Structure 1
Amino acid sequence: MKRKIFNWIEGGRNPLIIFGLIFISWFVILLGAWPGVYAYDAAWQYGMLTGDAPFTTHHPVIHTLWLGNCIRLGETVLGSANAGMLIYSLSQMIICASGLTYILCRVLRHDSPRKYIIFVVALAWIMLFPLNGVMAVCSIKDSVFAVLFPIVVLELGEFLQNTDRYLKSKRWILLISATFLSIIFRNNMRYAFAATGASILLISLLKKKTIVKNILYVFAAPLLLMIIYEKTLYPAFGITPGSEVEKWCVPIQQVAAVYNYSEIEGNEKLSESELNDLFAYASEEIWKAYVPECSNHVKDYFSFSAGKKRFVLLWARLLYKYPQQYIEAFVNLTENYWNPFIVQESKHISFLQFKCFEPVTFEPVLAGMYRYLYSLCNDRTYLKLPVIRLLFNNGGYLWGAVLNCD
């Protein structure tokens, strides 16, 4: 019976079945969070579109336009911002469910003897882990990227394993498209993709492989599309570059960590010259606001008004004097991404946001589901569950993926 069920799912009708199961499970979440979670940077992004804030590339432009125009459509045509948020939630659910359906179909087509187990566990996790549904109806920019990224990884792996066969199958179109979309949905993806391409190209050159030209094409195409996208879309909407500070969050955190360490009695103090350089970029109050696990408290008020060169020289001098503090600052900032034994909790910032900014308001259809989701996200009830709490840890997923690679 079990074999017949899987043969039927695998026989070609699986995409709609899988998509339907995922969409329905998330729709139940939507009923508790109706019309969707309008939180994180949503209000700021909408302000960019309405002219209340400068329209910059601080947030992915494609997401700002998509989200903002949904809300605007709701307010101007459908009578309420809630209607616009519902359109956004449903469209994002469709996109994310479609991407995950593709990934699960790929699992079923894999040669691994564990493919059915992996498929069942993955589908159950996608459907039943509540935060998947919450993120699917949330205005955060990471939801679509979180689906695109594994597709890029899967397709890139197939491309490198058998380049000629992959290119003949025309799936290179999917690889380039998914990569381009992941770049425009997440600003720092362009750097990760460029670094990955350079590394793969270098390895291929060292091994004298004949696929170097194909690698150049596949990696250059998304970056070329990105340039065309920026050169055409940005001028059309009057979009200006965002702050470059976002790229510097790790060095800024390291310098902030050193400053706060030096202020502790008994530790080596910064020199007057170093303090002058430090305060040229942010006030003493800002540097003291340093929070080890979150860069926003310093980064958001940091300015390169004194020039990048001066800051780089300061960073290098402090690295020589305080290498341990630099390492600790990096570990504290990134630990949740690789340490499976911690759950990120901070009194300074809410990592899970289940709320709505104006002009959107919650109108839950299922009151019980709303109370459950509110408690889960805002009261952090998961921290009270010894095993379940591990599901909220990024490091657990990282090592799970690493240890289960074929």
Structure 2
Amino acid sequence: MRVKMRKFLKSCYFKILLSTIAVIWTLGLKTSNFASVLLVVLFYFFYKNEINCSEKRERIIAGVLSVLLAVFQVAGNYDDFLLLVDVKLVLLIKYILAIAGWCCIFYTLIAIIFKMAEEKDLVCAAQKNSKGIKVFGASFGILILCWLPYFIAYYPGILTWDTEWQFEQALGISSYSNHQPVLHTLFLKLFYNLGIKIFHNPNGGMAVCVFVQMIVMASIFAFLIVILYWRKIRKQYLALCIIFFGIMPFNALYSIAIWKDIFFAGSILLFSIILWELQDSHDDNRLTKIGQIIGFIVVGILVCLLRSNGFYAYLFCIPFMVLMLKKRRAGVILGCIVTLSIVGIVKGPVMEAKHVIQPDIVENLSIPIQHIARVVADGCELTDEEEKLLGQVIEIDRIPEEYLNYISDPIKTLIREKDNQQYIKDNKKEFFFLWLKLGLRYPEEYIKAQIDQTRGYWTTDEQYWVITTEVTEHAEILGMYRDSKLPSGIVRIMEWGENAYMEIPIYGILWSIGFYFWIMLLMLAITIKKKKNILPFLPVLALWGSLMIATPVYAEFRYIYSLIIGIPLFIAISFSSEEERNYVSDAETITNKECL
């Protein structure tokens, strides 16, 4: 009997059963749903000729990643499990079984992708390269042409709430604040004033800001295409990259949306490209080395100044850059010192001299604030001492009615209304221990709060707004208004396209942050499996990590836009051979046909 049971547990039939159960429970389907029959059939063919990882290294990487993705999948849908059962032991068993079932699914899927990575190589050594300037120009031109209809339809561009405040600062209506990065505000001021001189109206000023942003982003994407081209990545893949950057609506809409996050995402992409180049460069030309380090410094400064979490992401990357970039170690160390020195001077003495207001203390405490608020909102008891400490900075009685599990703004607003943030600064130790003690006492509430506040960044089944094209009344007060140059019917079709991802299956997943995060993890796993350097992945991973401890919103697309536009780079890194740089001069042995 035991032998038969062991045999069954190792068979594909057990995996079919476990996987079907996992999908049904996780997606909240009824047990009588006919989809269960379809799932059994699907999983039968999925596991029938199962591909297994051959090497121990592969099995370990695939195992770790499959467990991670399975936990993400189940944790992201924990509330569906709670609807079915409230007995904790039964709930725990269901969680374990669901995770086990998803592990089976993901492990098999990862093994298939690993096999594809072995068989597919994006590099074609026989591919003839022409001058990079031609590739850059063609890529740049195509992207601008793809984005122009959106610029014309939403002329003078997309102005968001945050940017209205920045324009107020640029126009001298309000004081400079680094809550929105001053560097970006100064960019707006420069090109807005240029636009005013040319067009003599606020719409013209904004249009110039938008068009310059389009030029910058198209240049960054075209630069990536050129780098891939020089590394002999197949032209078909380059074409797909251009289509992705040019045709996907969120890229087009973000190219005309005035947000600090757009330039920041471009800076992170450039930083990853530079790290890739520094890591693989075989060019010992002194001018090339100097140029790379200058680029490393300039882009590093942008990463640190365009978002506050960019600075922390840069700090996280420093030890890895010094450790992994052995050939450029001296230059990298010098570059880091120069970068941090300039950033320190700008964020310190310069901003103080210009009386730039810094973000308040609660702005960076979204996650711990949500943890504590969840405890109060769920009716958990606090001691008199804890209530007294917390009551100094927030009206405790209002927390249950104001708390939203996916965004921290309501609770931060309550703290700001109390107007006693100095008390937090003066009693940091006490508030830290309050957060720690409540977490140890009520771990379930903290876990739920953490999941709800961040799940959009690591699960695929979360849909949140990505872009808005509305023009607010406040923007009109500033003299900026929608002045579309296209017929209203066409504009309505384009507006429908902004939210079509919520209606069209499969297409919708291309708008999912979690989906791109999973792709990045898969590409990272392939890169580790091939024993290649993972350094280009680290800036985005560090940025993602910063959101896990500080995000104010659970699925803000723009906050992690650098991940989305970095996917073409990550795929190229993981699916290319180790010989990208070894260009073949005598390609007689490989025909051009092989590059098609």
Q: TM-score, normalised by structure 1?
A: 0.85
Q: Is 1:22–2:143 an aligned residue pair?
A: yes
Comparing 326-335 with 17-26, greater Cα deviation is found at 326-335
2: CA distance, partners of 1:293 / 1:192: 23
> 1:150 matched to which residue of 2?
269
> 2:387 matched to which residue of 1?
275
Q: Amino acid of the residue matched to residue 469 of structure 2? A: F
- Give the deviation of 1:251 after TM superposition: 1.2
Does the CA contact (< 8 Å) of 1:145 and 1:186 recur in 2? Answer: yes
- Give the deviation of 1:390 after TM superposition: 0.9
2: CA distance, partners of 1:75 / 1:195: 41
> 1:85 matched to which residue of 2?
206
Does the CA contact (< 8 Å) of 1:29 and 1:130 recur in 2? Answer: no
> 1:325 matched to which residue of 2?
445
What pairs up with 1:254-269 in 2 under 5 angstroms?
254-261=371-378, 263=379, 268-269=380-381
Does the CA contact (< 8 Å) of 2:301 and 2:339 recur in 1? Answer: yes
1: CA distance, partners of 2:320 / 2:390: 35
What whole-Å deviation, never above 9, does each CA across 1:83-116 have from its counterpart, x for those lacking one? 111011111011111111101111112255xx43
- Give the deviation of 1:305 after TM superposition: 3.1
What whole-Å deviation, never above 9, does each CA across 1:38-87 have from its counterpart, x for those lacking one? 11301112223344433221111011122245445556774321111101
- Give the deviation of 1:140 after TM superposition: 1.1
Q: Amino acid of the residue matched to residue 329 of structure 1? A: A
- Give the deviation of 1:159 after TM superposition: 2.3
1: CA distance, partners of 2:151 / 2:386: 52
C-alpha RMSD of the superposition: 2.8
> 2:28 matched to which residue of 1?
none
> 2:179 matched to which residue of 1?
58
> 1:299 matched to which residue of 2?
412
SS at structure 2 position matched to 1:361: coil
Structure number with bigger Rg: 2
SS at structure 2 position matched to 1:362: coil
> 1:362 matched to which residue of 2?
482
Does the CA contact (< 8 Å) of 2:377 and 2:399 recur in 1? Answer: no
What pairs up with 1:341-352 in 2 under 5 angstroms?
341-345=460-464, 350-352=465-467
Comparing 85-94 with 52-61, greater Cα deviation is found at 52-61
What pairs up with 1:4-153 in 2 under 5 angstroms?
7=128, 12-71=133-192, 74=195, 78-112=199-233, 115-153=234-272
**Could you say if the C-alpha distance between residues 75 and 159 of structure 1 is closer, same or farther in structure 2, counting changes exceeding 3 Å?**
closer
SS at structure 2 position matched to 1:169: helix
What whole-Å deviation, never above 9, does each CA across 1:171-223 have from its counterpart, x for those lacking one? 1211221121122222210111101213555x569xxx786544422322221
SS at structure 2 position matched to 1:364: coil
Structure 2: gaps (5+ residues): 1-123, 524-570, 575-596
**Could you say if the C-alpha distance between residues 272 and 396 of structure 1 is closer, same or farther in structure 2, counting changes exceeding 3 Å?**
same
2: CA distance, partners of 1:135 / 1:351: 9
> 2:402 matched to which residue of 1?
289
Q: Is 1:196–2:306 an aligned residue pair?
A: no
Does the CA contact (< 8 Å) of 2:129 and 2:230 recur in 1? Answer: no
Q: Is 1:336–2:449 an aligned residue pair?
A: no
> 1:388 matched to which residue of 2?
507
1: CA distance, partners of 2:196 / 2:353: 23
1: CA distance, partners of 2:327 / 2:155: 54
What pairs up with 1:212-231 in 2 under 5 angstroms?
213-231=330-348
**Could you say if the C-alpha distance between residues 297 and 199 of structure 1 is closer, same or farther in structure 2, counting changes exceeding 3 Å?**
farther
1: CA distance, partners of 2:446 / 2:241: 38
Q: Amino acid of the residue matched to residue 339 of structure 2? A: P
Q: Amino acid of the residue matched to residue 392 of structure 2? A: A
What whole-Å deviation, never above 9, does each CA across 1:294-313 have from its counterpart, x for those lacking one? 22222344352322333212
Partner residue of 1:400 out of 516, 519, 525: 519
- Give the deviation of 1:21 after TM superposition: 0.5
- Over the matched positions of the two proteins, sequence identity in percent amounts to 23
Does the CA contact (< 8 Å) of 2:139 and 2:222 recur in 1? Answer: yes
What whole-Å deviation, never above 9, does each CA across 1:274-298 have from its counterpart, x for those lacking one? 2232232222325642222222222
Q: Amino acid of the residue matched to residue 163 of structure 2? A: A
Q: Amino acid of the residue matched to residue 374 of structure 2? A: A
Does the CA contact (< 8 Å) of 2:135 and 2:225 recur in 1? Answer: no
2: CA distance, partners of 1:17 / 1:76: 31
Q: Is 1:177–2:292 an aligned residue pair?
A: no
1: CA distance, partners of 2:192 / 2:132: 40
What whole-Å deviation, never above 9, does each CA across 1:377-403 have from its counterpart, x for those lacking one? 4xx332111111111111222222333
Q: Amino acid of the residue matched to residue 38 of structure 1? A: L
Partner residue of 2:435 out of 273, 293, 315: 315
Does the CA contact (< 8 Å) of 2:157 and 2:210 recur in 1? Answer: yes
- Give the deviation of 1:330 after TM superposition: 2.0
Structure 1: gaps (5+ residues): none
- Give the deviation of 1:366 after TM superposition: 1.4
**Could you say if the C-alpha distance between residues 225 and 169 of structure 1 is closer, same or farther in structure 2, counting changes exceeding 3 Å?**
same
**Could you say if the C-alpha distance between residues 9 and 147 of structure 1 is closer, same or farther in structure 2, counting changes exceeding 3 Å?**
farther
